Structure 1
Amino acid sequence: MGHSVGEYVAACVAGVLSAEDALTLVAARARLMQSVTAPGAMVAVKLTEEEAEAARREVGDAVSVASVNSDQDVVLSGAAEAIAELVARLEERKVSVRRLRVSHAFHSSLVEPALGELREVAASVRFAAPRVPLVSNLTGKVAEAGMLSDPEYWCRHAREAVRFRDGMRAMDELGFSTFLEVGPGRTLLGLGAACLPGDERAWAASLRRSVPASEQVRIALGELHVLGVPVDLAAVHPGGTPSAVLPLLPTYAFDRGRYWFTTRVRDVDTAPAPDRPDEPTLLPSMRAAAPEERLGLLADYLRDLLAAALWTPAGEIDTDADLLPMGVDSLLVMQVVTAVKSALDVTFSPRELFEAATIEEWSRLIVERAEEAHSLPGAGRRSGTRAARRDWSDPAELVRESVLDPAIVPDGPLGDGWRDPREVLLTGATGFVGAFLLEELLRTTKARVHCLVRAEDAATGLARLRAATERYLPWPSEHEDRITVVPGDLSRPLLGLDTAAFDALAARLDAIYHNGANVNFVHTFPQLRAANVGGTQEILRLACRGPLTPVNHVSTFAIWGVPEDLTSTFAEDDDLTTAGRLPNGYLQSKWTGEQLVLAARRRGVPVNVYRLGQIMGDSRRGACVTNSFTCAVIKGCIQFGSAPELDMLVEMTPADYVSRAMVHISTTSAWGRNFHLLNPERLHFSELVGYIRRRGWPVEVLSGPEWVASFREQLGGGRENALNPLIDTISEIVHVGQDSMTYRVDNLLAGLAGSGISCPPLDESLLDTYFGWMEATGFLDRPAVPHTTSGARP
């Protein structure tokens, strides 16, 4: 796969074009693009594709979407005057905009006068069928037979948007996990990592501007060899033999021990001389610099730090560039936190960096904190102010994001199919709760369950669904014929389906279970909006597209936020606008998504809302959702060796109970209700800590403020801890006691009356089940001292 003109190289490598014909086409394309005289411009905007398209329409057809590089990275191209007007509008809305240094407005209407001659040149060259699959920029999918040999394809390729994000997803769904960029840098690797976040993929660069080409090629080949990619060593070293070049090494298993130094030793020969003993390494330079020079000094430091981590020349990292598409993730942010703690002895949380992920904003944040912490001379005398940011934690700010598409309205009455459904849609089936919902739907209904899964095709999606399910439950082989995978994507219009497939799905459904969401407690609201808000809107659209279909919407009890009155009681049908402050992007996106659901309900769409408690695990087998907030608190306190003293109640809701209750209510109760689906029995936090200590882990109890201060002090010290990315949320709970609120369950009790469904008690026996699984799977290191729990409630 290439990117824009890079697809010509990909076509040549794939055997579609000879080198001579590829050069003929590229030369003609370049000449014709240069012949375009109309002034144009291109800008990169931090918006979703849908938001960028809406913004583009505000200034008319003079601006086009030129490239969709990732979920939050879109390039717009068009007439210079129209681009300038659009930039002014976006900057007024505090949207991040970066002007690109280009000669022409590529992939816009301005290039259309050149397409006729390009078509003629393309018709004069010879095309062949690809010898290896080629992912098309035009479609974002593997090119179909005959597509690339059509001259019209190359005209559309020059005019229409580069669908790089879709192409990366296509390769991911085909099973590729190792990516090599052939070119002078890591630009595409950064874009690719933004499309496919996570640690399970490898990204290698063939060339870097700061490294000799032959050396970097050898480095890349070494990386590929380590990853198991076959390397033709005879071609690399002509005249030699592979065995002489690379002798076989023993294939023994490494003992996974950790031998890091626990204290830092300064290198007195290379470190700059500090003004004071034990002074952080960068602080003398900051103190000596003039106030107006400190931002530049810190920007250079951060650029070098990121360049080493991303294997990207420092000169290629612009200070105003969004760092997330370049491959900056939670792990790398923690490395930055650790490095700055060592260099300047200041701490900050990962979330602060995610809120404005540019070197420019990071530099301002760090310098201001260092000036305050160390009383640096001239603090506050720099020119310029930080751009105002919207406070997404305020529900009043989110109301403007909670506007449902006017086209989403019912077209007919609700039938009775939902009482004994034959066809249902389940989103989020590859997640923890989704696995239990799938199990319950197959067990208690006769329905065919259509599972929306991000995959290139149904076979790939089924394999992914099975692998996800088997992490927690046995695969339901006896019901597999009733499972249908729908390849799609919550973050895309029409769920990533074409219009015909979307309409066909809508026409056959008896009920929808919308459980899918991007669950991330560190990312910001704008980063989660496409999947969690946009996806909910598309589900509501699906419900109204064919015969009216009821929607079971999965939310969270935490959308009530943190109110000023910590003794608040929330009934299931209370007004959501009374919610308190929403401390993270996930809760903000779920609150906004639920507002869309309530708006649809007012228009007549049958919707039930299930606000789940803190999902812990399977009360029968013990499998736990290890990336949950509750598990992070348990593991983090054990790793840190201490826990805060909190006067609050802990809630743990079993996923098997949730699935039974939800499916029962959805097939027996009236629509238009809200349910707090959580464990009515809670455990005092001190009892949970006491259980952990009796099980054998040495966990000291500190006062809440003391614990937070101690944890923040070590935050940049390199110690691994599950709570490192969540310290802001933990601090919020420590200081305000989030779970001291009461959540009424009147609607839930009425919906379950007579069903025999009840929540397992949160007692020591249930904790034994959960903790036994966490130890057996290695999520928790076994305590050195055997546990002494008694089977009774603490």
Structure 2
Amino acid sequence: MTLPHRRSVVLMFPGTGAQYARMAAGLYEHEPVFTRAVDEVVDLLGTEGEEARSDWLAPEPAVPMDADTRSAPLLFAVNYAMGRLVESWGVRPDAYLGHSMGEFTAAVLAGVFALDDAVRLLWERVLMQRTTPAGGMLAVAAAPGELSRYLGDDVVVAAVNGPRHTVLSGPDAPLDAVAGRLTADGRTFRGLAARSPYHSPALAPLVEPTEALIRTMRLAPPRTPLYSAYTGRLLAPEEAVRAAFWAAQPTTPVMFWPTLDEVLRVEDRILVEAGPSQSLTVIARGHESVRSGRSAVIATLPPRALGPGEDRRSVHAARERLLALTSSGRTDHSGRLPLDLPAS
């Protein structure tokens, strides 16, 4: 008798731009593991965390979700809680992969950062960002090489999310000028839900104080393999404990597509996006390994706010599919990659 081929499980965590109002709020106080994990994160922030949680659960938040005092802690909390929820189903991830800020969630679950240290680092960076220029990000339907003429004047490639999914970042004025040129040239693009020029030189002032802060923390080599979208490969133990590596991330481009390619090159996988928006699911569906059916991708949450009932239905469907795939060894795939440029 031939045993079914086991496909290893990789948990993926989205980054800044994936947040939306009331993301996963339908799970709060309905999924105990999820609820405890969210509370664990926001309680570490004291009053600021309580206010963020109130806005997250409110029909009309006092502070919009795109504000960094909301997007950063709440996206981290939801990612972390979704990771804990998936693991509570008896699924033991074989590896973790995060996009942008999602790499911090992956690092916590892999054992590199203690949760309280990661939350403190996250919040201190939010406060430090107030000293840097306002800016944003543009997702463009083009390969990085096609966009060289739009770069300069502090506008850079911030992320490579797919063969023709490139994110540009920069301060407001030069980025607005680039948007005008893209429009004039007939390029397809959209602005992302970000108010800072992430992964650009504009955030260079954050690097030195962030490194000093991380040096006060105790970092450990990953207990579970951790892929880094900043290196495009598995994070080596010595890299994982290097403060300079984590401190430089606000100015370093996210090479998500090359990293995903490396993840799927090693072996067939079941990719599980443990976070909102399905942006990484959209990316992964375009990979040949998923399109061919060798690997599979599962989204755990809806792509946008569709109500608390849909949050719960989405999670329950993801759980059933994941447990079916991990128990039987079979896989499936669905859909082509739509022209919907994912968040950074």
TM range (shorter): 0.5 to 0.7
TM-score normalised to the size of structure 2?
0.63
2:140 to 30, 34, 45: 45
Q: Which runs of 5+ in 1 are unaligned?
A: 231-308, 311-321, 328-794
- 1:157 partner letter: Q
- 1:33 partner letter: Q
2:149 to 45, 55, 60: 55
Provide the C-alpha distance between the structure 1 equivalents of 2:145 and 2:172, rounded to a whole number of angstroms.
22
Answering whether residue 279 of structure 2 is matched by residue 183 of structure 1, we say: no
Q: Which runs of 5+ in 2 are unaligned?
A: 1-96, 329-333
- 2:143 partner letter: T
Answering whether residue 319 of structure 2 is matched by residue 227 of structure 1, we say: no
- Cα distance 1:171–1:325, how it changes in 2: closer, same or farther (>3 A)? farther
2:338 to 323, 328, 342: 323
1:11 CA drift (Å): 0.3
Question: Percent identity over the alignment?
Answer: 26
- 1:134 partner letter: L
1:212 CA drift (Å): 4.9
Provide the C-alpha distance between the structure 1 equivalents of 2:192 and 2:311, rounded to a whole number of angstroms.
27
Answering whether residue 110 of structure 2 is matched by residue 14 of structure 1, we say: yes
1:73 CA drift (Å): 0.6
| Residue of structure 2 in register with 1:143 after alignment | 235
Provide the C-alpha distance between the structure 2 equivalents of 1:56 and 1:149, rounded to a whole number of angstroms.
36
TM-score normalised to the size of structure 1?
0.28
The answer to whether the Cα contact below 8 Å between 1:138 and 1:156 also exists between their aligned partners in 2 is no
Q: Summarize the alignment of residues 200-599 of structure 1 with structure 2, pairs less than 5 Å apart.
A: 200=293, 201-208=295-302, 209-210=305-306, 211-229=309-327, 323-324=338-339
Provide the C-alpha distance between the structure 1 equivalents of 2:287 and 2:252, rounded to a whole number of angstroms.
20
1:100 CA drift (Å): 2.1
| Residue of structure 2 in register with 1:152 after alignment | 244
1:83 CA drift (Å): 1.4
1:82 CA drift (Å): 1.5
| Residue of structure 1 in register with 2:214 after alignment | 122
Deviation per CA, 1:744-776: give whole Å up to 9, x if none. xxxxxxxxxxxxxxxxxxxxxxxxxxxxxxxxx
1:41 CA drift (Å): 2.5
| Residue of structure 1 in register with 2:175 after alignment | 83
- Cα distance 1:25–1:195, how it changes in 2: closer, same or farther (>3 A)? farther
1:214 CA drift (Å): 4.4
- 1:182 partner letter: A
- Cα distance 1:195–1:61, how it changes in 2: closer, same or farther (>3 A)? farther
Secondary structure in 1 matching 2:166: strand
Answering whether residue 121 of structure 2 is matched by residue 25 of structure 1, we say: yes
Provide the C-alpha distance between the structure 1 equivalents of 2:339 and 2:274, rounded to a whole number of angstroms.
21
The answer to whether the Cα contact below 8 Å between 1:192 and 1:325 also exists between their aligned partners in 2 is no
- Cα distance 1:129–1:166, how it changes in 2: closer, same or farther (>3 A)? same
| Residue of structure 2 in register with 1:492 after alignment | none
The answer to whether the Cα contact below 8 Å between 1:137 and 1:157 also exists between their aligned partners in 2 is no
| Residue of structure 1 in register with 2:184 after alignment | 92
- 1:136 partner letter: S
Secondary structure in 2 matching 1:167: helix
Provide the C-alpha distance between the structure 2 equivalents of 1:162 and 1:70, rounded to a whole number of angstroms.
11
- Cα distance 1:93–1:214, how it changes in 2: closer, same or farther (>3 A)? closer
| Residue of structure 1 in register with 2:4 after alignment | none
1:4 CA drift (Å): 0.5
Which structure's relative contact order is higher, taking Cα pairs within 8 Å and 6+ residues apart? 2
| Residue of structure 2 in register with 1:174 after alignment | 266
The answer to whether the Cα contact below 8 Å between 2:136 and 2:172 also exists between their aligned partners in 1 is yes
1:92 CA drift (Å): 2.3
Provide the C-alpha distance between the structure 1 equivalents of 2:243 and 2:212, rounded to a whole number of angstroms.
8
Secondary structure in 1 matching 2:227: coil
Residues matched between the structures, number: 235
Structure with higher Rg: it is 1
- Cα distance 1:30–1:192, how it changes in 2: closer, same or farther (>3 A)? farther
Provide the C-alpha distance between the structure 2 equivalents of 1:14 and 1:65, rounded to a whole number of angstroms.
28
| Residue of structure 1 in register with 2:253 after alignment | 161
| Residue of structure 1 in register with 2:57 after alignment | none
Q: State the Cα RMSD in Å.
A: 2.4
Deviation per CA, 1:362-403: give whole Å up to 9, x if none. xxxxxxxxxxxxxxxxxxxxxxxxxxxxxxxxxxxxxxxxxx
- Cα distance 1:229–1:16, how it changes in 2: closer, same or farther (>3 A)? farther
| Residue of structure 2 in register with 1:394 after alignment | none
The answer to whether the Cα contact below 8 Å between 2:141 and 2:341 also exists between their aligned partners in 1 is no
- 1:112 partner letter: A
The answer to whether the Cα contact below 8 Å between 1:123 and 1:151 also exists between their aligned partners in 2 is yes
- 1:219 partner letter: A
Secondary structure in 2 matching 1:77: strand
- 2:146 partner letter: E
Answering whether residue 194 of structure 2 is matched by residue 102 of structure 1, we say: yes
Secondary structure in 2 matching 1:147: helix
Secondary structure in 1 matching 2:202: helix
